[in-house]
Amino acid sequence: MNQQEKQYLKDVYGEEILVYNCEDKNLSFDIFVILNNLNVKIELKNRYFTNDYIAKQKDILIEIIQNVPDIKNIDVENVQLNNLYKINTSIGWFYKCDADRLIFFRYVQEVLFDVIDIDFKLFKGWFLNNINTFDKQYSGKTTKTINAVVKLSNVPKIFYKYICYL
């Protein structure tokens, strides 16, 4: 998490907050924002664009499958031979996420373009009920992911806060 992202959290959730990074400690959220005895679990997503044309599309990617080859290699006939940790991490973050908030920090040429801050508890049910309405995207670059492409204009406005910096 960079300084701009920390400042966003302080601007929105209060200067007095403490931010506790849990990214390497679990698979269900990235950070805690703590104020007194209140804890908010947040999943962070960063997207980087080379120009603002794509950023202006105002969509978010929801990862359904993180690693297609691992999913394809599940041995259902000899289930005991499978590695449950590998299967679990191959399922996209969306299904494992237990955050209160989902925050997308989107950058154009390394400059913060906008922030999409979503009430994840409300969004998750809405997304699952509308899953067949989204475009699909396959990315073969790194871990071979399958994503749902969700246009922000389709998400109920009451679920999110949008701030554009450029």
Query: What's residue 166's pLDDT?
Result: 81
Q: What is the pTM of this model?
A: 0.92
Give residue 78's domain range.
3-164
Number of domains present in the structure of the chain: 1
Sign, CA dihedral 156-64-8-53, equals negative
Sign of CA dihedral 133, 145, 166, 102: positive
Is 127 in contact with 150 (CB distance < 8 Å)? yes
Please tell me the distance from the alpha carbon of residue 117 to that of residue 100, in angstroms, as a whole number: 11
- The pLDDT value recorded for residue 164 is 95
Which pLDDT score is estimated for 25? 82
Q: What is the mean pLDDT of each run of 10 residues along the chain (166 residues)?
A: 94 93 88 92 95 91 93 89 88 95 96 97 98 95 91 97 93
Give the per-residue pLDDT at 29.
Answer: 95
Residue 63: count of CB within 10 angstroms of its CB = 20
Identify each DSSP E strand in 24-91 by its residue range. 31-35, 38-49, 59-65
